Chain A
Amino acid sequence: MVTVIFPGRLESLADIRDFVVQAAKRAGFDEKDVYAVELAVDEACTNIIEHAYGNQESGEIECTCDVREGEIVIVLRDHGKPFDPDKIPEPNFSVGLAELKPRGAGLFIMKKMMDEVKFTFDSKKGNTLRMVKRKKPEDYP
């Protein structure tokens, strides 16, 4: 298990992605699943920076990667505003282009890319987001 703390600003996104990509590659995921993890973590961290911290560049993001048998568990912690996923409406990508509203895709993408996405809030510990990606049976050696 490896944990790194990153400054909560958009310039950190590339470093955070590099960190989780290395962990996912070490875990033996294929290129497509590594990209899925990279995308989910980028969307999650963008939400933290822009919404939990309100783009103030003042907080931190603690990122933990835990490579286990057949899966990788990624935990992101922040001390920004509480996040309630139930208040985020799902985007509708079946509407015509003109009706498409540019918002709310981050959470939707995270759920599509990962096998588990779970948010918890604690007044002392802040927001915790736990995401799990599991290997498909054919990826096992």
Chain B
Amino acid sequence: MDISTTQYKRCDVVKMNGRVDSNTAPMLEEVLTSLTQNGRYKIVFDMTDVDFISSKGWWVLIETQKVCRRYNRGEVVLACIQDRIRDSLNLVGMGSYFKIFNDVTSAVASF
């Protein structure tokens, strides 16, 4: 599983491939925490190559969302989420905490 971060002028794009479960979520948490600790609160999570995400992964994203939205200084948005993951997210009811974009360009442009 790989995670890369690309810094743009107005936001950062975090791209991960593989499956986010309780075993791998700490890696994602480390990357996101490193961004927010450096004052980077506008984050696009590119989910093109994320094949699976458990509640542990969603909690990492939700906790990061809390930090980013504080004082209206930014937010985490999701891009290119696969249909089956999106369906499960909406069925559980956690989808309302994120803006979702169909492509990374639109997500970056939203900031």
**Which A residues contact B (CB, under 8 angstroms)?**
10-11, 13-14, 17, 31-32, 35-36, 38-39, 42-43, 46, 49-50, 93-94, 97-98, 100, 102, 105-106, 108-109, 112-113
Query: Measured between alpha carbons, how far is A126 from B29 in the docked complex, in Å?
Result: 34
Instruction: Give chain A residues whose Cβ lies under 8 Å from the Cβ of B21.
Output: 10, 13-14, 17, 42, 46
Stretch of B7-15, B34-42, B55-63 lying at the A interface = B55-63
B59 and A102 form a contact (CB under 8 A): yes
Is chain A's binding surface mostly helix, strand, loop or mixed? helix
| CB–CB A38/B52 < 8 A | yes
Nearest 3 pairs between A and B by C-beta? A93-B93, A10-B23, A35-B84
With A13-B22, A14-B21, A32-B84 already in contact, the answer to whether A43 and B52 are too (CB < 8 A) is no
- With known contacts A10-B22, A42-B54, A46-B54, A35–B88 Cβ distance under 8 A: yes
The answer on a CB contact under 8 Å between B66 and A39 is: no
Q: Which residues of B contact A (CB under 8 A)?
A: 19, 21-23, 52, 54-56, 58-59, 62-63, 65-66, 69, 83-85, 87-88, 91-94, 96-97
Q: Which residues of A contact B55 (CB under 8 A)?
A: 43, 46, 105-106, 109
Q: Are B62 and A35 in contact (CB under 8 A)?
A: no
B88 to chain A, nearest CB (A): 6
The answer to whether A39 touches B54, judged by C-beta atoms less than 8 angstroms apart, is: yes
- Name the residue in A11, A109, A112 with the highest tally of chain B Cβ atoms < 10 Å from its Cβ: A109
Chain A residues positioned under 8 Å from B59 (CB to CB): 102, 105
A113 CA / B54 CA spacing, docked (Å): 12
By beta carbon, the residue of chain B nearest A14 is B19
25 residue pairs of the A-B complex, CB under 8 angstroms, read A10-B21, A11-B23, A13-B22, A14-B19, A17-B21, A32-B83, A35-B52, A35-B84, A35-B87, A35-B88, A38-B52, A39-B52, A42-B52, A46-B21, A46-B22, A46-B56, A49-B22, A93-B96, A97-B62, A97-B66, A97-B69, A97-B97, A105-B59, A109-B55, A112-B92
In the complex, which residues of chain B have a beta carbon less than 8 angstroms from the beta carbon of A11?
Answer: 23
Provide the bound-state CA to CA distance between A14 and B25, in Å.
Answer: 13
